[in-house]
Amino acid sequence: MENKTKRLYGEYSHTIDEKNRLFIPARFRKAFKKGEKLVLSRGLDGCLFLFPEEEWEKLEDKAKTLPITARDARAFTRHLFSGASLCITDAQGRIPFPPSLKEYAGIEKEVVIIGVSSRIEIWAKQKWKDYCKDTGDRVEDITDKLEEFRI
């Protein structure tokens, strides 16, 4: 079977329902096989990451190569893995939303779900607006710095 990286793009607004479930946008659901496992975890910049299981496994394999003697490596792996939750979309395309992750991201009800190539990020709506404003004001500087990554 061909191992093809997911291509997840776009921005969608949704809400967490009264049973703490999040509706995954149809465009993103189409990128997953029926019954495919997803991993929801703490992300960076105050958001949550949602990975298809195969992408999560790639990240986990890379994390395993980090030295446990390095304080920052330990902190990063603890941050990412300790709150991770395995989930499968239900028939309506929803995933359960653990209260601890909801609290971490400052999510009450409204969220913005964005595709970031091989993962999905889930943001509290206001946090996403603030992030976009801040980043938009600095995009020229950020672009200049990407030269060191050869982008």
pTM of the model: 0.88
| Homologous superfamily in CATH for domain 8-125 | Transcriptional regulator MraZ domain (3.40.1550.20)
**Domain residue limits, the chain:** 8-125
Contact 38, 51 (CB under 8 A): yes
Per-residue pLDDT of the chain (151 residues; tens, 9 = 90+): 344 567 899 999 999 999 999 999 988 888 777 778 999 999 999 999 999 999 999 999 999 999 999 999 999 999 999 989 999 888 888 999 899 999 999 999 999 999 999 999 999 999 999 999 988 778 888 788 777 776 6
User: And the tokens for 81?
Assistant: 């893995």
